[in-house]
Amino acid sequence: MSRSACAEPGVDRLLGQVDRAVGVHVPVRTAYDQWTQFESFPQFMNGVEEIRQLDERHTHWVTKIGGVRREFDAEITEQHPGSPAGICSTANTHSREGSG
């Protein structure tokens, strides 16, 4: 198996860290199924314009926050039903200020 791009120092800086938790009253499997459907994130996450699942472990994100549009790839590091999914950004990042 190839080395994870996430192991490189500092490459997870774009996804940030969890700063709060929200309780939802649904079965764990229902919540897990929703949070692993990355392509639906733009429907409920401000600033996320698009996420494409490239393969079973990689996604491509397009965000626009504070007038800055960013595109980056991310690697799914952990994904087990009933447990939190792990994801980190990789070194492939592009930023552009303004509209677009």
Averaged pLDDT for residues 76-89: 79
Residue 11 located in a structural domain: no
The reported pLDDT for the residue numbered 32 is: 83
pTM of the model: 0.69
4 domain-assigned: no
Query: Looking at the 3D structure of the chain, how many domains does it have?
Result: 1
Asked if residue 92 belongs to a domain, the reply is: yes
At 9-55, the pLDDT tens digits run 444 454 455 566 777 888 888 888 888 888 999 998 889 999 999 99
Domain encompassing residue 62: 24-97
Structural domain contains residue 32: yes
Within-domain flag for 5: no
What pLDDT, on a 0 to 100 scale, did the predictor assign at position 82? 73
- Domain assignment present for 40: yes
Tell me which of 70 and 93 has the higher pLDDT.
Answer: 70
Contact 44, 57 (CB under 8 A): no
CATH (domain of 43): 3.30.530.20
For 63-76, what is each residue's pLDDT tens digit? 998 899 999 999 98
Average pLDDT, integer, range 72-89: 82
